[in-house]
Amino acid sequence: DNAAHGLQVAVSYAQTNAGIDTVLVTNGTYNVTAQMLVTNTVTIRSVNGATQTTVRATGVGYRLFNVKAADTLIAGFTLSGAYQNSDGDYNYGGGAVGTTQRSCMVSNCVITGNFILHYGAAVNGGTVVSCIITNNTATRAGGGLYDSGARNCLIAYNTGGGDNGGGGMKYGTADNCTI
């Protein structure tokens, strides 16, 4: 019996126990109360996809996932509710997912309804594949994505403010996307 009682507990357990490289998440809505820090390479994947599994921030001042580890995969979730409204360290990238790792991948997710004061309300950094990125807001730049690669994504109805905007995305590359 390796079942954790909550997503934050499972991600934390995978980070502190060698040999745990996959966190499978069953259907449901997971309300998170603090960012999940990913320091070791791991796959965090829903069992039945974004229509069945939601990760939602329930407070103010943090992103959902802060990924420090290369080759991490986050797949098959609806990611929503991140709200970062101060100039703290968190605000310089990624409301739903923030990473400095180019090999970090977010796949088959719906990323919607996130807010960040500065860069990339949905995702900052990494690569986003086959995702729907809508209704995210950054008061500076990159309402949807900032400095990310995107493939086969729908990026729509996002808002970026100052720093020359970039409502859909600012910096990065888009391949076979609708923006």
pLDDT in tens, 4-22: 778 999 999 999 988 889 9
Residue range 117-132: mean pLDDT, rounded: 94
Give the span between the Cα atoms of 172 and 148, in whole angstroms: 5
Answer whether 15's CB lies under 8 Å from 38's CB. Answer: yes
Give the span between the Cα atoms of 9 and 37, in whole angstroms: 11
Q: The tokens of 28 are what? A: 């449901």
CA atoms within 13 A on the CB side of 122: 40
Confidence at 131, pLDDT banded by 50, 70, 90: very high
What pLDDT shows up at residue 106? 98
What pLDDT shows up at residue 147? 94
